[in-house]
């Protein structure tokens, strides 16, 4: 298991993900996450290290509410990147940005004030990764296969992106997991 998350002004691409690599189901469905349990202290850890959040317009339109971030434990500046901020309904603590993705990161990191900027968007994470602006990827793998939806990294025809495993002796180690299907799942 990696060491505890730290607040270090990182750009952190952070998701709960299905075993087959989806972060949302079709039409942004999130009901697949129901019944997943997380290790004790996880929400507090991320609530304590997150300085600001950057999301995309589709995720915001699907769930236009910040009160549930980290189980309601986190309050702070939320930025939503969109090409059409003019038709977004204003919400407390939420700033709609229409700018280059690197500028959105600069604004988010500034607002994070030493905490991490959490990127809660697959599409923005992909853009940032391609521009070398992701510092770390943190994933919680839920015990479910979705088969359809929004992938963490949807990049058909693209080259593999090599990663280093953090918190272990061997950064190129594969991670072993074992599951079995739930009979009536």
Residues interacting with ligand NAP, by CB under 6 A?
15-16, 23-24, 28, 55-59, 62-63, 81-84, 101, 120-124, 127, 150
Task: Tell me how far apart the alpha carbons of residues 102 and 148 are, in angstroms, rounded to a whole number.
Answer: 29
Cβ at position 101, least distance to ligand NAP in Å: 4
Q: Looking at beta carbons only, is 15 or 111 nearer to ligand NAP?
A: 15
- Tokens at 26, concatenated: 């079709």
Q: Smaller CB distance to ligand NAP: residue 26 or 171? A: 26
Shortest Cβ 170–ligand NAP spacing (Å): 27
DSSP string, the chain: -PPPP--SS-EEEEEEEETTSEEE-GGG--GGGTT----TTHHHHHHHHEEEEEEEHHHHHH----TTGGGGT----EEEE-S-GGGSPP-TTEEEE-S-HHHHHHHHHHHHTTSEEEE--HHHHHHHHHTT---EEEEEEES---SSSEESS--TTPPP-----SSSS-TTPPPP------TT-
CB of 174 to ligand NAP, least distance (A): 23
User: Residue 86 or residue 184: which is nearer to ligand NAP going by CB?
Assistant: 86
CB of 51 to ligand NAP, least distance (A): 17
Please identify, using beta-carbon distances, which residue of 58 and 135 lies nearer to ligand NAP.
58
- The minimum distance between CB 151 and ligand NAP, in angstroms, equals 9
**CB nearest ligand NAP: which residue?**
56
């Amino acid at each position: 298991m990696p060491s505890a998350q730290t607040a270090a002004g990182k750009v952190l691409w952070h998701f709960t993900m299905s075993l087959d690599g989806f972060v949302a189901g079709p039409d942004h469905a999130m009901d697949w996450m129901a019944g997943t349990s997380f290790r004790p202290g996880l929400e507090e850890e991320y609530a304590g290290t997150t300085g600001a959040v950057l999301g995309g317009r589709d995720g915001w339109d699907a769930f236009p509410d910040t009160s549930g971030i980290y189980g309601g434990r986190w309050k702070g500046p939320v930025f939503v990147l969109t090409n059409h901020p003019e038709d977004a309904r204003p919400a407390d603590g939420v700033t709609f940005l229409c700018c280059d993705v690197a500028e959105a990161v600069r604004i988010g990191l500034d607002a994070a004030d030493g905490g991490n900027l959490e990127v809660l968007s697959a599409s923005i994470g992909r853009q940032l990764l391609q521009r070398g602006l992701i510092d770390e990827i943190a994933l919680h793998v839920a015990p479910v296969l979705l088969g359809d939806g929004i992938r963490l990294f949807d990049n058909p025809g693209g080259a593999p992106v090599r990663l280093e495993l953090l918190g272990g002796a061997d950064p190129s180690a594969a991670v072993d997991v074992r599951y079995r299907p739930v009979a009536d799942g």
